[in-house]
Amino acid sequence: MIKHFLSLSSFSQSDLLSLIHRAQFFFQNQHRPENIHHLLKNRIFANVFYEPSTRTRCSFEIAAKRLGADIVNFVPDNSSVKKGETVYDTLKSLESLGVDGLVFRHADDYIIEKLQPLLKLPLINAGAGKFEHPSQGLLDLLTLFQEFGKLEGLKIAVCGDIKHSRVAGSLMVAAKIFGMSIYLCGPESLVPAVTDTHIQKADFDEILPEVDAVMMLRIQLERHENLDLDPKSYHHQFGMNHRRQLSMKKHAIILHPGPFNRGVEISDDMVEHSQSRIFKQMSNGVAARMAILEWTMSGRIQ
């Protein structure tokens, strides 16, 4: 059985909880090679990123290495893509070369759905256009779970360019699975229509004192054709800063998937504030991706 990791929507609550617990195990054991280094020995993954990445690409690479696997970093700009090779032909070639799993990022929302039935090896969605970023979703859930010991009933504000955010896409899927409440905030043109009881629009300043966590999002300039944005005015209306942090509950945390634009959606002093878990999210990214890589290989014969 081929175990693709494409969307959080294909998981039940108990399956996702198992992945979160496994990620927590890896978080606690990542520096104990004697406990984990044998788990994916002799496996080879390929990082295939058609969009830039720092955190996701590097953390999948570190995750693979911590589990004893090798990983090939395919760079489109330095490959036969430059000679006209299609995405399908590239992935099929890596399959033929003997790769065990593909970690794949692309700007197209739908390409992963189209390619998955054509491949005989696990495909891991490392960010698909505006659709979903499920490995980010898992690390966000892990971060919330570590903080609150539960997910059900949590209230989370999401602020920024939600319409173009695959991070928000995965968080909204998770909210339905776990019964979390999501409050969408930001410029009217960047907040999607709401179609679910767990998800509602809200005024950022009004909802902040009510929530357990706030997920700040960057404006995805690469997905806009004409956006007239004044960073100062945006920060004043929708940025996380000292004034807004003071209105939050003392136990509430600040999240951001990165990369962040300091002074736009988040002020410099908030990035490493005591209520910020932004760098914790990144550390958790390695553990979450270890759980994902192991899960995808659990359906394959060595």
Indicate which residues carry an active-site annotation: 55-56, 83, 105, 133
**Separation between Cα atoms, residue 8 and residue 178, nearest integer Å:** 11
**Separation between Cα atoms, residue 299 and residue 8, nearest integer Å:** 18
**CA distances (Å), 113 to each of 60, 163, 269, 300, in order?**
21, 20, 40, 21
Q: Which is nearer to ligand CP, 33 or 259 (CB)?
A: 259
Shortest distance (Å) from residue 138 CB to ligand CP: 12
**How many of the other CB atoms lie within 10 Å of CB of 104?**
27
Shortest distance (Å) from residue 205 CB to ligand CP: 26
Q: Are 8 and 177 in contact (CB under 8 A)?
A: yes
Q: What are the respective helix, strand and coil percentages of the chain, to the nearest 5?
A: 45, 15, 35
For the sheet with 44-49, list strands across it: 70-74, 44-49, 101-106, 123-128
Site of interaction with ligand CP (CB under 6 A): 53-56, 127, 133, 136, 257-259
Q: Which is nearer to ligand CP, 56 or 267 (CB)?
A: 56
**Separation between Cα atoms, residue 114 and residue 191, nearest integer Å:** 27
Shortest distance (Å) from residue 96 CB to ligand CP: 27
Shortest distance (Å) from residue 136 CB to ligand CP: 5
Q: Which is nearer to ligand CP, 51 or 95 (CB)?
A: 51
Q: Which is nearer to ligand CP, 259 or 299 (CB)?
A: 259
Among 125, 119, 111, which residue's Cα sits nearest to residue 53?
125
Shortest distance (Å) from residue 235 CB to ligand CP: 20
**Separation between Cα atoms, residue 50 and residue 57, nearest integer Å:** 11
Supply the DSSP symbol for 74. Answer: E
